[in-house]
Chains A and B, each alone.
Chain A
Amino acid sequence: MKTIKNNSIIDLVNLSKTFDSGTKLELNIFKQINLKIDQALSYSITGKSGTGKSTLLQIIGGLDKPTEGKVIVGGKDYSKLNDKQKSKIRNKKFGYIFQNNLLLEDFNVLENVMMPFLIFGNKKEDSLERAKKLLDRVGLLSKIDKMPNILSGGEKQRVSVCRSLMNNPELILADEPTGSLDEENAKIIEDLLFSLVQEEKVSLLLVTHNKEFASKADKKFVLINKGLQDEE
Chain B
Amino acid sequence: MDDAAGKLLERYKQGDTDALGELVELYRRPLYGFILRMTEGDGAADDIFQDVWLRAIRKIGSFRRGSFLSWLFRIAHNLVIDRARRAGRIVLLDGGEDARTDGMPEDRIADTAPDPSDSAANRDIGDRIKCAVGHLPPEQREVFLMRFEADLTFREIAGIQGTSINTALARMQYALEKMRSELGPIYYEEVNDHEKQKRD
A and B together in one complex: no
Residues of B within 8 A of A (CB): none
